[in-house]
Amino acid sequence: MEYNLIDGKATATAIKKEIAEEVKKIVASGGKKPHLAAVLVGHDGGSETYVKNKVLSCEQCGFKSTLIRFEENVTEEELLACVYKLNEEEDIDGFIVQLPLPKHIDEQKIIMAVDYKKDVDGFHPINVGRMAIGLPCFISATPLGILTLLQHYKIETSGKKCVILGRSNIVGKPMAQLMMQKQYGDATVTVCHSHSATLKEECREADIIIAAIGRPEFVTADMVKEGAVVIDVGTTRVEDATRKQGFRLCGDVKFDEVASRCSYITPVPGGVGPMTICSLMKNTLAAGKKEFYK
């Protein structure tokens, strides 16, 4: 089957351009640039890259950005104090604390401390709850990016059978909520996880598969229905001596054998990843405009 490759990189670039245009207009009419702060703890390679790309995207969108760094041994109290300060700082419209955090810090405690009005990651329970009942709010960046991609490619989701692999708070659960809701996916949703007994069978019946489990090449051709739409969220670093960095990013889908069965499929990298950052920019613009909360 001739498949369509969903180009997340090009879509994200186009959306960031639109955001930059809007920021120009805001500034021209006397408004201020949206300001995003990012808090980075330690020196994890993946987190460093994500934060670097977020700062770069802020520049592309015409935003102001601030990076705050802490060493791995920062205490929970110090990090909480930083969050409280950012909550109060008037010039900062939104901020993120890059996850994962070191084991001695309670991630949930940090998430709860962020003012939900500045929670552009959409992780605070108020935003999660508002999203679940369909109220305006910051929607978690990866699921929002996937929705945007589906809309951008005019992929019909209403009434379709959608299988989501993974039930994490940042991807699987919010994705399921959004795909089920009338005003977003309007699909019939099944969520599978590591204890699902009929995962393969569920996948085989799916019109749309969204894989977010972090298991390289888990989804194989025998699990995919002819003509399905496959969205690969997985980004696992696998050793690769032929690459300069010594690794490559591997998705949850065995692309080479699955693609020919699909109507649409995302690549890794260049699919969901760039859209996640783009969604963070969308949320920051909304925060700057006080779109959801005064």
The smaller minimum CB distance to ligand NAP, of residues 142 and 148, is found at 142
Task: Report whether 128 contacts 170 (CB < 8 A).
Answer: no
The verdict on whether omega for the bond into residue 143 sits within 30 degrees of 0, i.e. cis, is no
The 10 Å Cβ neighbour count of residue 81 is 12
The smaller minimum CB distance to ligand NAP, of residues 38 and 82, is found at 38
- Between CA 211 and CA 247 the distance in angstroms is 21
98 assigned to active site: yes
143 binds ligand NAP (CB under 6 A): no
121 assigned to active site: yes
Is 168 assigned to a binding site? yes
Name which position in 23, 213, 230, 285 contacts ligand NAP (CB under 6 A): 213
The smaller minimum CB distance to ligand NAP, of residues 114 and 192, is found at 192
Instruction: Output the smallest distance, CB 60 to ligand NAP, in A.
Output: 17
Instruction: Output the smallest distance, CB 204 to ligand NAP, in A.
Output: 15
Q: Total residues contacting ligand NAP (rule CB under 6 A)?
A: 24
The smaller minimum CB distance to ligand NAP, of residues 93 and 202, is found at 202
Angle at CA 208, nearest 5°, toward 280 and 278? 15
Exposure letters 145-181 (e unless 16+ CB within 10 A, then b): bbbbbbebeebebeebbbbbbbbbebbbbbbbbbbbb
Angle at CA 49, nearest 5°, toward 47 and 52? 105
Name which position in 64, 214, 221, 270 contacts ligand NAP (CB under 6 A): 214
**Helix, strand, coil abundance in the chain, percent, nearest 5:** 40, 20, 40
53 binds ligand NAP (CB under 6 A): no
Task: Report whether 234 contacts 272 (CB < 8 A).
Answer: no
Catalytic site residue from 7, 93, 119, 121: 121
- Between CA 247 and CA 244 the distance in angstroms is 8
Catalytic site residue from 16, 54, 117, 160: 54
- Between CA 160 and CA 7 the distance in angstroms is 22
282 assigned to active site: no
Is 30 assigned to a binding site? no
Tell me which long-range contacts 168-172 makes (C-beta under 8 A, separation of at least 24): 168/212, 169/123, 169/128, 170/99, 170/123, 170/140, 170/142, 171/140, 171/142, 171/143, 171/212, 171/233, 172/212
- Taking residues 235 to 274 in sequence order and writing x for each that binds ligand NAP by CB under 6 A, - otherwise, the string is xx-----------------------------------xx-
Instruction: Output the smallest distance, CB 175 to ligand NAP, in A.
Output: 9
234 binds ligand NAP (CB under 6 A): yes
Name residue, tokens 């590591």. 194
Segment contacting ligand NAP by CB under 6 A, of 28-36, 86-94, 170-178, 253-261 = 170-178
165 binds ligand NAP (CB under 6 A): yes
Task: Report whether 226 contacts 207 (CB < 8 A).
Answer: no
Instruction: Output the smallest distance, CB 91 to ligand NAP, in A.
Output: 28
Residues within the interface to ligand NAP (CB under 6 A): 142, 165-168, 170-172, 192-195, 199, 212-215, 233-236, 272-273, 276
> What residue numbers does the annotated binding site for NADP(+) cover?
166-168, 235
Q: What are the residue numbers of the active site?
A: 54, 98, 121
